[in-house]
Structure 1
Amino acid sequence: MTRPSTPEDLARGVLAGDRSALARAITWVENGRPGAADLLRRVYSRTGRAHVVGLTGAPGVGKSTLAAALARHLRASGQRVGLIAVDPSSPFTGGALLGDRIRFSHGPVDDGVFFRSLASRGQVGGLSRATGDVIHLLDAAGMDTVLVETVGAGQSEVEVMRCAHTVVVVLAPGLGDDVQAAKAGILEVGDVLVVNKADQPGASRTVQELRQMLDLGAPRDPGWRPPVLETVASDGTGIDGLAAAIARHRQYLAESPAGAQRRLWQAEEALRQQVVALVWERLVRSPRWEAVAAAVARREISPAEAAVQLLAGLGDEPGPAAGDADPALAGQGAAEGRTRATEGRAAGG
């Protein structure tokens, strides 16, 4: 069988649920291959059906085991499940230090589950720069639920809100997670709070403290109070309750204005990040960039003045066509866009 080699062929395979085409499409998007933007354009209208669940929390709380257990439970109910695990990057290759064969060697392996590990590649916020686009591909391929496990960066993981419909914050007793979560604001992003490893000492106390924190703080969504659940992912205890809570939250979003508001906010955030990345790429590639930067270095103009000058001349610079936009820059902040654009310019791109 010939491997699909064009955006049209890959899109057709993804929409047909072909696992090989899906794997290749994800590789295209993650590596910023030419044609990846066209591929995403071809499948985007077929997205929006899957429910995206983000699992976030500090390292060591058992997110991988919990994600695998939840995937098995959802699969047993007949759902098709996509799993994305964002791993720390190798400083040498840029690839994921961990990987699907290690992270989910104990997890589900049938054709109804598709797993992919993504390298964070220095992206802050616990996600990879390609996470949003990979979610779209899994959605278009017919997954009913997409689970996204963040890298485990602790206090920086609120970024998962930008792509997940339901955010599950995972904690464990005895690790001090509750204090760290309160400091970081992670509790504010959680739609469901889970104390995993609940068979360990101190679990009940952690649950009580979390409920007290919820009582003291103003809710992000007045119509939904995040449940605090106990699980032991290693033996499946409490997974049915977690799946039920996620289903309730999905139903709540479908029936309340909060769901429409969240979808609009996520769309605006995705658009904002794409615009920032593309504008930054054009600015860095502008022939005026180095001259203006040199003027700032000589203290002839301030950085603020320089930015105004560059943006004022942006309309005169030729920009990429919409179909040629680099998908590797989509969904990332200006800092990541700066790094990639600078590298491309240094290489003669």
Structure 2
Amino acid sequence: MTDDAASLLAAARSGSRRALARLLTAAENGVDLPDCPVPARRAHVVGLTGAPGVGKSTTTAALTRALRDAGRHVAILAIDPSSPFTGGALLGDRIRMSDHAADPGVYIRSMAARGRLGGLAAAVPAATRILDAVGFDVILVETVGVGQSEIDIASAADTTVVLLAPGMGDGIQATKAGLLEIADVLVVNKADRPGADAAVRDVRSALRLAAREPGAWRVPVLAVSAAAGTGVDALVTALEDHLQHATTSGALERRRVQRWRAEVEATVLGELRERAAPLVAASVGEGVQGGEAPHTVARAIVNRMLSQHDPPEG
């Protein structure tokens, strides 16, 4: 770790929000920060996902309040849609969590998705490592909310909470195409509205049809009204129960190893893409004019890159 990064981390651990913000900004901008040392006590990374309008921000705020009442230090990464003008986050989630802005035990950071699909920002893995190293107990990652394909959070979180709401379409349809598979906890939010009981029944019926290995975690379906504060304590208990089960069964360690591997692979591919860009640009004209197939040109570029790093013979 560079002296500057080390000093920023030390300052952030001492409570400097300015230093923490600088570390996270560097991560967002793709600055090559050396790995932050991970303390023995690892933060619980909780992802909250679901379609727009299910109340993710309200649930995140209510969950934060309950965790703070329990004495936990909470960091929130709120992934917002990117501005078409600046590329930055629109900050809608941060505005809705303004009640926690003055709490020294809570840190809120909005991050722009910057056009990335899957509901997350590319800097989320690095940001969670930084927040973990600073000493937060729980890191809540709230996704953009792009629908049924929003499953990237499952690879970034220890526990994934999928939120649904009554009156937003068939409950079973809402859990298809990935969301049912990634959920560790399912929440029917706005449970004080008509149709909530039916939504809970639909989701529980869908879960009974899903294959489940012996001893596997049994996904709870909770009725919550985050705005009214009802059912939030049960959600906190479900998160703690899942973390305990995942720890005991070894699933947590396997998930974190997979997360580490995925980040290494993404970093390698990003580095290769950056190094290959000039070669690709130089090959376009000749390849098109010569009628070569794209995969043939690509293979030639890869071979050229590999040959540049071959050890000398003898």
Q: Report the TM-score, using the length of structure 1 for normalisation.
A: 0.83
SS at the partner of 1:194? strand
Using the alignment, how far apart are the partners of 2:197 and 2:93 within structure 1?
32
SS at the partner of 1:154? coil
Of 282, 287, 293, 1:302 maps to 293
Do the aligned partners of residues 155 and 100 (structure 1) sit closer, same or farther apart at CA in structure 2, a change above 3 Å counting? closer
Higher mean alpha-carbon deviation, 306-315 vs 149-158, is at 306-315
SS at the partner of 1:176? coil
Using the alignment, how far apart are the partners of 2:114 and 2:63 within structure 1?
27
Using the alignment, how far apart are the partners of 2:7 and 2:292 within structure 1?
51
**1:108: how far off?**
5.8
Using the alignment, how far apart are the partners of 1:305 and 1:130 within structure 2?
33
**1:47: how far off?**
7.7
- Structure 2 unaligned blocks of 5 or more: 310-314
SS at the partner of 2:211? coil
Partner of 2:27: 29
Q: How does 1:1-349 map to 2 (within 5 A)?
A: 6-32=4-30, 36-38=31-33, 40-41=34-35, 43-46=36-39, 49-99=42-92, 101-107=94-100, 109-176=102-169, 178-219=171-212, 223-285=216-278, 288-298=279-289, 300-317=291-308
Contact 1:47 1:140 in 2 (8 A): no
Higher mean alpha-carbon deviation, 78-87 vs 46-55, is at 46-55
Using the alignment, how far apart are the partners of 1:274 and 1:195 within structure 2?
36
**1:265: how far off?**
1.5
Q: Which amino acid aligns with 1:156?
A: S
**1:316: how far off?**
4.6
Partner of 1:342: none
Contact 2:162 2:187 in 1 (8 A): yes
User: How many correspondences in the alignment?
Assistant: 307
Partner of 2:312: none
Q: Report the TM-score, using the length of structure 2 for normalisation.
A: 0.91
Contact 1:72 1:108 in 2 (8 A): no
SS at the partner of 2:299? helix
Q: Which amino acid aligns with 1:164?
A: A
**1:295: how far off?**
3.5
- Structure 1 unaligned blocks of 5 or more: 319-349
Do the aligned partners of residues 207 and 106 (structure 1) sit closer, same or farther apart at CA in structure 2, a change above 3 Å counting? same
**1:315: how far off?**
2.9
**Aligned-residue CA RMSD in angstroms?**
2.0
1:98-127 deviation digits (Å, cap 9, x = unpaired): 345512123463100000111111011001
